């Protein structure tokens, strides 16, 4: 439920009164814009703090329309425009707002953001924003004051209930001069498409959860327990009975094809890596359910890559923290290497919430751990 304070912040703006040079806050309406805010002022360094707020709102609106955040028929008095206005105004140092908005789109921000996404290391996109201004901006502080800016959705998805953009996608498009791609995909940055996954986003598609998922439930009793083991007395007989073979005759390729839920089977990279490994490798290296899904997740993810629109980077984010992985690089690795890379980067695979679930047709979730360096 929206509190009065949140409503107040979303529908009011602050500006410098040209006569008194004091900051005032007013309820936004067309009448207010036309009669009070829309005053022409000089834009030189000495008077740049005397904001022509209407023109600033117009600049935000136009940039938002160019990035797909606002619709063509949106107005400067619309709630989403005011949210971005208040957020940016709170972040940019006094007397610098005019120059900051004048330089939109700021391509150097996009370039730095793309470079960071290619490193497979957790970083804060607010750090990029804060270190771009001279003097430094305060976007971290502004986000604490106006967290609602992350909830603004791209114009095309504003009223969607299925397949809509997640929280933060419009924000990233606006601040880094991207846009919502045509068709599938979450964020386009200068021709590169990023598949964004909010923390806990699913990385599977059209998996055989009714078959392989049920097998996994049988082999790992009490799946919600991180210590559920495949080497327990109830698990191994089920495995050998399923394959009609002794454990020593069952390869990891057989096991992963049966259990991963990927209908087309594991890919060639995984096939070559696991071909000469027996089921003993499973018991030694993945003794618990939590261990095993760090391997199954990348297998499901690579299958997912084939089933979604073309994109260049998959990025997982939580609040201001984000980490990107190049899809083509991941594709060429076996799932064991991906698992190790994820672990080193602070990314882990987790099961669907709820006791006893292996996975459903949408697979496991991908999650980003908090890093002490962000």
What's the number of domains the chain is made of?
2
Residues 177, 264 within the same domain: no
Give, in order, the Cα–Cα distances in Å from 160 to each of 155, 157, 164, 166, 168: 10, 5, 6, 11, 16
Q: 47 falls in which pLDDT band (50, 70, 90)?
A: very low
Residues 350, 243 within the same domain: yes
Find out whether 330 and 302 touch, Cβ atoms under 8 Å: yes
| Geometric angle at alpha carbon 129, from 124 and 135, rounded to 5° | 130
Total residues belonging to the chain: 374
Q: What is the pLDDT of residue 241?
A: 74
Residues 63, 175 within the same domain: yes
Residues 172, 248 within the same domain: no
DSSP-assigned letter for residue 168: T
Q: How would DSSP label each residue in 59-121?
A: HHHHHHHHTTSS-TT--TTSHHHHHHHHHHHHHSPTT-HHHHHHT-S-HHHHHHHHHHHTTTS
357 assigned to some structural domain: yes
Q: Any idea which of 27-31, 103-107, 319-323 has the lowest mean pLDDT? A: 27-31
- In terms of phi and psi (left: phi > 0; alpha: psi -120 to 50; beta: otherwise), the region of 244 is left
Q: Is the pLDDT of residue 7 over 50?
A: no
**Residue ending a domain, choose from 144, 165, 183:** 183
274 assigned to some structural domain: yes
- Which has the closest alpha carbon to 288: 353, 339, 350, 226? 226
Summary mean pLDDT of the chain: 81
**Percent of the chain whose predicted confidence (pLDDT) is above 70:** 74
Q: 26 falls in which pLDDT band (50, 70, 90)?
A: low
Q: 183 falls in which pLDDT band (50, 70, 90)?
A: low
Q: What is the pLDDT of residue 227?
A: 55
Residues 313, 239 within the same domain: yes
Q: What is the pLDDT of residue 164?
A: 46
Give the structural domain span for 132: 4-183
220 assigned to some structural domain: yes
Residues 158, 281 within the same domain: no
pLDDT in tens, 49-78: 434 577 899 999 999 999 999 999 999 999
Q: 46 falls in which pLDDT band (50, 70, 90)?
A: very low
200 assigned to some structural domain: no
Q: What is the pLDDT of residue 44?
A: 41
Q: What is the pLDDT of residue 371?
A: 55
pLDDT in tens, 66-117: 999 999 999 999 999 999 999 999 999 878 888 888 889 988 999 999 999 9
Q: Is the pLDDT of residue 220 over 90?
A: no
Q: What is the pLDDT of residue 31?
A: 54
248 assigned to some structural domain: yes
194 assigned to some structural domain: no
Q: Any idea which of 29-38, 187-196, 274-283 has the lowest mean pLDDT? A: 29-38
| 81 vs 154, higher pLDDT | 81
Q: 358 falls in which pLDDT band (50, 70, 90)?
A: confident
């Amino acid at each position: 439920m929206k509190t009065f304070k949140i409503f107040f912040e979303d529908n009011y703006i602050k500006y410098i009164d040209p006569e008194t040079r004091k900051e005032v806050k007013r309820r936004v309406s067309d009448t207010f814009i036309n009669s009070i805010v829309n005053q022409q002022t000089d834009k030189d360094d000495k008077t740049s703090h005397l904001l022509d707020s209407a023109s600033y709102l117009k600049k935000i609106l136009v940039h938002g329309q160019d990035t797909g955040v606002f619709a063509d028929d949106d107005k400067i008095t619309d709630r989403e425009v005011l949210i971005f206005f208040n957020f940016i105004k709170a972040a940019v140092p006094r007397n610098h707002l005019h120059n900051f908005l004048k330089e939109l789109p700021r391509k150097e921000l996009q370039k730095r953001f793309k470079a960071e996404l290619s490193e497979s290391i957790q970083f804060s996109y607010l750090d990029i924003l804060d270190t771009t201004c001279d003097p430094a901006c305060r976007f971290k502080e502004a986000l604490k004051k106006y967290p609602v800016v992350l909830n603004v959705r791209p114009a095309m998805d504003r009223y969607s209930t299925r397949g809509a953009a997640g929280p933060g996608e419009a924000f990233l498009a606006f601040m880094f001069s991207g846009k919502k791609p045509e068709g599938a995909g979450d964020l386009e940055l200068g021709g590169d498409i990023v598949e964004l996954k909010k923390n806990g986003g699913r990385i599977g598609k059209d998996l055989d959860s009714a078959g392989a998922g049920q097998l996994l439930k049988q082999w790992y009793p009490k799946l919600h327990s991180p210590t559920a083991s495949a080497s327990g007395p109830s698990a191994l007989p089920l495995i050998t009975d399923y394959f009609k073979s002794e454990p020593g005759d069952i390869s990891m390729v057989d096991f992963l094809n049966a259990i991963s839920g990927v209908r087309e089977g594991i890919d060639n990279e995984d096939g070559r890596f696991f071909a000469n490994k027996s089921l003993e490798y499973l018991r030694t290296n993945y003794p618990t359910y939590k261990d095993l899904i760090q391997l199954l997740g990348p297998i499901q993810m690579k299958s997912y890559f084939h089933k979604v629109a073309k994109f260049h980077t998959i990025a997982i984010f939580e609040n201001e923290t984000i980490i990107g992985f190049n899809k083509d690089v991941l594709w060429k690795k076996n799932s064991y290497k991906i698992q190790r890379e994820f672990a080193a980067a602070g990314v882990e695979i987790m099961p669907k919430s709820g006791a006893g679930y292996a996975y459903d047709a949408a697979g496991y979730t991908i999650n980003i751990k908090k890093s002490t360096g962000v």
